[in-house]
Each structure stands twice: as structure tokens, then as C-alpha cells.
Amino acid sequence: MKRGVAFVINGAVIGIGREQTMNLNDVEKIRTENPVVVNYANFVTPFLVANGLNAVGASPIMSDEASEADELVKLASAVVINAGAARRDGWPVIEQLCQSANKYHKPLILDPVAVGATEYRRELNFGLLERHQFDIIRGNIGEIAVLAGIEWQTRGIDAGDGDRDASDIVRECARKFNNVVIASGKVDYISDGNRVTSILNNTRLLPAIVGSGDLLSSISAAFAAISDNNFDAAVTASLVLSCSGELVDQKLNHQNLPGSFLSQLMDQLANISPEEIKAIMKVEEN
């Protein structure tokens, strides 16, 4: 996509106000580079996350042992901290992973699962964000609002409700933590603190899968590992998951079949091409 071009794809108006450097060739590049992504996972979704990472072309490794953290991060290309079910006695592992990621300049990604739900989760997530530089934060709009300090009615792992405009929330969060933020939902909003790109592709079956958000966080890490631009990596990750979801939804004739959707989603992630994404993507910039 080029600077100053406005065009329409699939009925959606795509306004390009400034340079859009998104490189969909990374969808193929990742399959040859096969970057290692270290995950501090929750105990609910590691099977889905590991297989989803494998499907897009990355090489997942989950770890819960502080003594190997530095060595692992050194050999890896990106690190994801999923705070979904972390126990306090796991904090030393998380600390070591974050310290090493910053030391070796490996992209560090945070998924602040249900950060608004409890005081414990706020202490964990805000503490991490204070002590370490995260390159990308990926959460649902409720989690991102809480991190940005914006009032929001959150409900466990779900996004909840609030009045503020999602573009403002994601931009404020990115400014606050000086990084790239993805606020996912029916529309995924991605900001670097200035621009906001919205991915309008979606299917109701993605949120029906517990762990689809965790997967988006880890796929963002995988693309950050092979890209020199975290914003582009976040946009590519969101497009890959959302467009794969839409394509499977079409193949299933929009039936409510979460089980079939999940297995076919893995197939689609492994085979989606830049051309297929370009043909259906709905992207807006502001």
C-alpha cells in the first residue's frame, strides 16, 4: 500500500492518509525463517497457542523455569508473557524472561489477561510494565482500557463495556507505555501512539474460542521476530488471524461450529497467502 492512496476493498472504504509500510510478504518469510518464540503461557491455552504458532511458521517453546530463562531468550527471536494464570511463585521466571529479552533486544510482548479483574492482576501487570520495556501489548479493549487508566466495566477474561472511543483508548495506552498496542475485538485497533490502524475483518467464531486472544498475542511476537517494525508486525498478525478466521467461516457456510472452526483455523493459518489476505482485507487508518 502506498502513501496518500485511498481505495476500496470488499466494499470497505480504505483511507490511507500516511505511509503504510505493511509487508504481507512476511506471511511467507516467517515460514522460511521459522523464528523461535518463548512463551510464559497460562495453563489453559498452551496447546492452542503452540499449534497456532507452528501453523503460521514459528517455532514455539513454553518455559516455566527461571534457571534456563536467560539461555532460552538468547537463542529465541521473541518472548511472550501471558499473565493469564501466573502464580506469585512464577514471578521470578517472568522477571528473568523480561530482563533477558530487554538485555538481548528481543521483542517482548505482554498479554495482560483480565488485568481489571483483581488487585493481584493489576499488581503483576503494572509492575511488569514499570520494570521492563514491552514492545507490544495485546489485550481485548477492556484490558487495554485498564492499562491506559480509562474507566471500563471489565468482566473476567471478557472485554466488558465502556463509553470511550476504542481508537483513543489504544492510542493513549501506546503513548503511556511507549510501544505498540493491539486492542482486539470485533474490530482490532493497533496504535503506536500516533497512528491507529483498524482491521475490520472478523468472525463471531474467533471469540468463541478460548485462547484466540492468547494466540493473537503470540502470533504478534512471531511477526515482530522477523520484522524491524513492531507496528507492521502487529498489523500483519491481526490480519493473518482475522482473515484466516473469515475464510474458514466462509468454508463452514457461517454455521456455528466452533470445533470444526478451530481445526480448520489451524489448516488455514498454515496455508494463507498474501494474495488471499489482500483480496479480503478491510483496513482503515486514522
Ligand X SMILES: Cc1ncsc1CCOP(=O)(O)O
Cell numbers representing residue 197 in the block: 490502524
The site that binds ligand X (CB under 6 A) totals a number of residues, namely 12
Q: Which residue of 6, 8, 13, 85 would you call a contact of ligand X, by CB under 6 A?
A: 85
**CA end-to-end span of the chain:** 15
C-alpha count within 13 angstroms, C-beta hemisphere, residue 41:
20
Region near ligand ADP per CB under 6 A, out of 23-31, 88-96, 122-130, 183-191: 183-191
Candidates 204, 251, 254, 278; binder of ligand ADP (CB under 6 A) is 204
The only residue of 57, 193, 211, 245 in contact with ligand X, by rule CB under 6 A: 211
Query: Which residue from 30, 113, 147, 181 is in contact with ligand X, where contact means CB under 6 A?
Result: 113
Residue 219 in contact with ligand X, rule: CB under 6 A: no
Q: How far is CA 263 from CA 110, 177, 244, 257, in A?
A: 26, 36, 12, 10
Strand, coil or helix: what is 134? coil
Only one of the segments 30-38, 181-189, 218-226, 277-285 lies at the binding site for ligand ADP (rule: CB under 6 A); that segment is 181-189
CB of 113 or CB of 281, closer to ligand X: 113
Q: Strand 59-62 relative to strand 36-40: parallel, antiparallel, unpaired?
A: parallel
The H or E element containing residue 9 is strand 6-9
Cell of 222: 512471531
Q: For ligand ADP, what does the binding mask look like between residues 82 and 121, x meaning CB under 6 A?
A: ----------------------------------------
- Could you tell me the smallest distance in angstroms from the CB atom of residue 50 to Mg ion? 16
Among 5, 210, 267, 273, binds ligand X (CB under 6 A): 210
Residue at 2: amino acid letter: K
Assess contact for 283 and 198: CB atoms under 8 A. yes
Quick count: other Cβ atoms within 10 Å of Cβ 228? 8
Q: Residues 188, 246, 249, 284: which binds ligand ADP (CB under 6 A)?
A: 188
Crossing angle (nearest 10°) for helices 212-226 and 26-33? 80
Q: Residues in the site for ligand ADP, rule: CB under 6 A? A: 140, 157, 159, 184-186, 188, 202-204, 206-207, 212-213, 216, 241-242
Q: Residues in the site for Mg ion, rule: CB under 5 A? A: 113, 213
